Structures are given as structure tokens and as C-alpha cells.
Amino acid sequence: MNYALFAIACYIVMRGLQVLLEEYSHSRWYKILIKTVTVFMLYAAIASLIVWYEKIQFLGFDPSK
């Protein structure tokens, strides 16, 4: 699995959580959960962009696989 697919999967999970938990959108725990997942997704996206140019392991697995 390469980093771009991992970043896309994180985005899908984030959007899925937003849809599934929409009725709790005014709760404090919902906002914390979505912000946490968003930060992790953005980290994965930035890591995939950096790996595009350099072969550095940011997420703990080989980017070429």
C-alpha cells in the first residue's frame, strides 16, 4: 500500500464518520473526534506528497509497497 492510497483511505474514513455521526454534530466529543481524525488525515496527505518527491518513511511502512 502506498502513501497516496493511505491518505485517500483516511479521507474516506473522516467523511464517513462525519456522515454517520451527523446527529451528534453539536456535541463536544464529536468535534474533538473529527478534529483528531482530520489532523491525522492531513498528516498522511502531507506525508504522501513528500514521499512523491523523496523516499522517506513517515507513516512507518515502505512507501514503494
Model pTM score: 0.66
pLDDT digits (tens, 9 = 90+) for 5-63: 777 888 888 889 889 999 998 999 999 998 998 888 888 888 777 776 666 666 666 66
Q: What is the pLDDT of residue 38?
A: 87
Contact 17, 33 (CB under 8 A): yes
Please answer whether residues 41 and 11 qualify as being in contact, where contact means their C-beta atoms are separated by less than 8 angstroms. Answer: yes
